[in-house]
Structure 1
Amino acid sequence: MAASVSDRFDIDATPEQVMRALEDVERIPEWSSAHKSVEVLTRDDDGRPLRIRMTLSLLGFSDTQTIEHSWTESSTSWTLVESGMQRSQDGEYALEQIARGTRVHVTMSLEPKVPVPGFVLKRGQKHAVEAVRKGLTEFVLSNYA
């Protein structure tokens, strides 16, 4: 069963500052407790991460994933390449300039390889989105604003 989640929140920083924080994928474990390690495998010509491997632990499940990023001036999206626990995963951070900073739109969908009760899947996604909202905001303000 595939599940999707989305959220939006504002950060009192410029879109460029938020994007620099998103590009700093190796530091995701500093603001996301689910991420135990992140390693950049390949980068694009501008130095932005393209393929990364990460180890996550959420709600008692651990997984090592490889994902492929795409970057624009105002967004980054990713697609799952390899995972022990997931059949598919796609997500995006889209940034929008607003009067007092940046509105961050987060979307994510995933499909586990094994059946997972819908309420467990939704709870995990809700936890992930809350971690992004709080953790990314604090990370941007502490390191890039």
Structure 2
Amino acid sequence: MAEQTTSSITVDAAPAEVMAVIADFAAYPAWAKGVQTADVVSTYPDGRAERVFFALDVSPIKDEYTLEYQWDGDREVTWTLVEGKMLRALDGAYVLRDLGGSTEVTYRLALDVSIPLIGMLKRKGEKILIDTALKGLKKRVESR
């Protein structure tokens, strides 16, 4: 079972603005470190992504995988791994809390790989993913 890591950051924007950046998968290669491709495979009737294919290269993790997303308005988005080559689990969430003029963004991630990785390398990969997810997101949202 993959361990879950959680971290939070405050973004100077409303939850809807933050979620708009999270939902814009085509732009991920521009701001999400290591994401080389993010292609929406299928969408829900409201237009938000249901399944997204990713090509990721964040040493020590290099993989191509598909995630399935569940959206709860502009409050939360969760995802689970549908298929991957190296990844066995990549489950996570962005949880947004309106602070009245800004938004607290909490990122949860549970990562597991099919090949044995030294704990230090796995944590390094998780840290890069989480830092990208939060710091990259904050920079992208606040620069819009």
- If the TM-score is normalised by the length of the shorter chain, which range does it land in? over 0.9
Q: Does residue 44 in structure 1 map to residue 44 in structure 2?
A: yes
CA distance in 1, matches of 2:108, 2:44: 23
Cα displacement (A) at 1:60: 4.2
Q: Give the residue type in structure 1 aligned to 2:90.
A: Q
Cα displacement (A) at 1:71: 0.2
Q: Give the 5 Å matches for 1:1-145.
A: 2-73=2-73, 74-143=75-144
Does the Cα contact within 8 Å between 2:60 and 2:125 map onto a contact in 1? no
Q: CA RMSD in A?
A: 1.2
Long gaps (5+) in structure 2: none
Does the Cα contact within 8 Å between 2:60 and 2:121 map onto a contact in 1? no
Does the Cα contact within 8 Å between 1:55 and 1:63 map onto a contact in 2? yes
Instruction: Give the total of aligned pairs.
Output: 143
TM-score (norm 2): 0.94
CA distance in 2, matches of 1:10, 1:126: 18
CA distance in 2, matches of 1:111, 1:134: 23
Long gaps (5+) in structure 1: none
Which segments of structure 1 move beyond 3 Å, counting only runs of 4 or more? none
CA distance in 2, matches of 1:113, 1:21: 30
CA distance in 2, matches of 1:121, 1:44: 33
CA distance in 1, matches of 2:48, 2:29: 18
TM-score (norm 1): 0.94
Greater Cα offset, 73-82 or 131-140: 131-140
> How high is the sequence identity, in percent, across the aligned residues?
30
